Amino acid sequence: MRGETDTTVAKADWFDALRELNSLIAHAHDVESFAIALADYLCRTFDATAASLVLVDPRTDELVFHTARGVPSTCLNQLRLNRGEGVAGWVCEHHQTVNIPDARQDPRFCTRVDQNTGFFTRSLMCAPLYRPDLVEGAVEVLNRADGEPFSAEQAAFLAMIAEQVQLLVTTVSLIAGLQRRNSELTTLIQIDRAVNAVHDLDALLGTILAAAADVAQAAGSSMVLADDRGELTFFHAVGPAKAQLVGVKIDRGRGVVGHCIATGQPVYVPNAYEDTRFLPDVDAQTGFRTTSLLAVPLVTEAGTIGALEVVNLPEVDDADELVGLMEAFASQAAVALERAQMSRQLEARVESATHALRETNISLSNESAKLTAMINQMADAVIMMDLDGRLLLVNDAARRLFALGPEPLEGQLALAVENVSLAVALAVPDTPPEGVEIAIDHPEPRIVRVHAETVISENGPIGKAVVCTDITELKELATIRTELISFVSHELRTPLTSIKGFVSALLSDARLQEADHRTFVKIIDHECDRLRRMVSDLLCMTRLDSGRALDVCWQQFDLVGLVEHVVEAQRVYSPGHNLVTELKTDVLVVEADQDKLEQVLVNLVNNAIKYSSSDSTVTIGLEPAGEQVRLTVRDQGFGIAPEELPQLFQQYGRLAEAERRRIRGSGLGLYLTKHLVEAHGGRIEVESELGAGSIFTVTVPLRRRWIGE
187 domain-assigned: no
List strands edge to edge, sheet with 693-701.
578-583, 617-625, 628-634, 693-701, 683-689
- Residues 326, 332, 335: CA angle, nearest 5 degrees: 140
The answer to whether residue 506 sits within a structural domain is yes
DSSP 549: P
pTM for the full predicted model: 0.36
Quick check: 59 and 317 in contact, CB under 8 A? yes
Mean pLDDT value across residues 211-232: 83
Identify whether residues 316 and 422 lie together within a single domain: no
> CATH number of the domain that 683 lies in?
3.30.565.10
- Same-domain pairing of 474 and 593: no
| Cβ contact 254:277 at 8 Å | no
Which stretches of 198-229 are DSSP H helices?
201-216
Residue 67 has pLDDT above 70, yes or no: no
Report the C-alpha gap between 195 and 172 in whole angstroms: 34
Mean pLDDT of 12-25: 73
The answer on 510 and 458 residing in a single domain is: yes
Instruction: Return the pLDDT at 674.
Output: 87
Task: Supply the CATH number for residue 302's domain.
Answer: 3.30.450.40
594 occurs within a structural domain: yes
Q: Does residue 356 register a pLDDT over 80?
A: no
Same domain assignment for residues 386 and 335: no
> Which pLDDT tens digit goes with each residue over 540-597?
666 666 667 677 889 999 999 999 988 988 887 788 889 999 999 899 999 998 888 9
For the chain, the first-to-last Cα distance in angstroms comes to: 61
Q: Compute φ and ψ for 32, nearest 5 degrees.
A: -65, -50
pLDDT value of residue 316: 74
CB 368 within 8 A of CB 354: no
Distance set, CA 369 to CA 86, 347, 385, 456, 466 (Å): 76, 15, 17, 22, 19
Q: Based on the structure, what is the number of domains in the chain?
A: 4
Same domain, 283 and 387: no
Cα 543 from chain centroid (whole Å): 10
Say if residues 77 and 67 touch (Cβ distance below 8 Å): yes
Q: Are 584 and 622 in contact (CB under 8 A)?
A: yes
pLDDT at 473: 83
pLDDT at 606 over 60: yes
For residue 102, the model assigns a pLDDT of 92
User: Residue 40: left if φ>0, alpha if ψ -120 to 50, beta else—which one?
Assistant: alpha
Same domain, 294 and 265: yes
User: Does residue 577 share a domain with residue 532?
Assistant: no
- In this predicted structure, the answer to whether residue 126 has a pLDDT above a threshold of 90 is yes
What is the pLDDT at residue 707? 44
CA distance 589 to 536: 24
Which domain-ending residue is among 127, 148, 178?
178
The residue among 113, 148, 178 that closes a domain is 178
The three-class DSSP label of residue 429 is coil
Q: What is the pLDDT of residue 4?
A: 45
Q: Phi and psi for 615 in degrees, rounded to 5? A: -100, 10
* Same domain as 542, residue 554: no
Domain that holds residue 449: 378-546
CB 554 within 8 A of CB 593: yes
Q: Please return the burial class of 359, using the count of CB atoms within 10 Å of its CB with bins 0-12, 13-18 and 19+.
A: exposed
Half-sphere exposure of 573 (CA within 13 A, CB side): 22
Domain-embedded: residue 429: yes
Total H helices, total E strands in the chain:
20, 24
Q: Is residue 357 a part of any domain in this protein? A: no
Higher pLDDT, 638 or 28: 638
Q: What is the pLDDT of residue 3?
A: 45
β-sheet bridge partners, residue 54:
65, 138
Handedness of CA 687, 692, 693, 698 (dihedral sign): negative
Q: Contact at 8 Å (CB) between 380 and 397?
A: yes
Q: How long a stretch of residues is the chain?
A: 709
Position 579 scores a pLDDT of 92
Q: Are 512 and 638 in the same domain?
A: no
Cα 83 versus chain centre, distance: 26
307-323 pLDDT, tens digit per residue, is: 899 898 887 777 888 88
> Is the predicted pLDDT of residue 622 greater than 90, yes or no?
yes
pLDDT tens digits, 470-529: 988 887 777 666 655 655 555 565 566 666 666 776 777 666 667 776 777 777 776 676
Instruction: Please name the amino acid found at residue 145.
Output: A
pLDDT score of 580: 92
Query: Which CATH number characterizes residue 521's domain?
Result: 3.30.450.20
CA dihedral 279, 280, 286, 290 (to 10 degrees): 90
Instruction: Mark which of 529, 546, 563 sits at the end of a domain.
Output: 546
**What are the Cα distances from residue 442, in Å, to 103, 382, 394, 402, 467?**
76, 17, 17, 7, 17
- Structure-model confidence comparison of residues 377 and 583, the more confident one: 583
Cα–Cα–Cα angle for 281, 286, 289, rounded to 5 degrees: 75
pLDDT score at 173: 61
Whether residue 598 sits in one domain with residue 633: yes
Q: Looking at the domain assignment, is residue 191 inside a domain? A: no
Query: Cα(323)–Cα(316) distance, rounded to whole angstroms?
Result: 10
Residue 7 pLDDT greater than 50, yes or no:
no
Q: How far apart are CA 27 and CA 120, in angstroms?
A: 33
Residues 13 and 102 in one domain: yes
Is the pLDDT reported for residue 667 higher than 70? no
Looking at the fold, whether 686 and 564 belong to one and the same domain comes out as: yes
Residue type, 385: M
Distance, in Å, from the CA atom of 259 to the CA atom of 297, rounded to the nearest integer, reads 10
Using CA atoms, how far apart are residues 442 and 77, in angstroms rounded to an integer?
61
Predicted confidence band at 700 (pLDDT cuts at 50, 70, 90)? very high
What is the predicted pLDDT for the residue at 370? 75
Residue 629 lies in a domain: yes
* More confident position, 212 or 134: 212
Question: How would residue 627 be classed by pLDDT, with cut points 50, 70 and 90?
Answer: very high
Instruction: Read off the pLDDT of each residue in 230-252 and give the average, rounded to a whole number.
Output: 85
- Which residues have CB under 8 Å from 104's CB, separation 6+? 111, 121, 122
pLDDT at 243: 84
Strands 436-440 and 578-583: unpaired
Residue 359 domain-assigned (yes or no): no
**Mean pLDDT taken over the chain:** 79
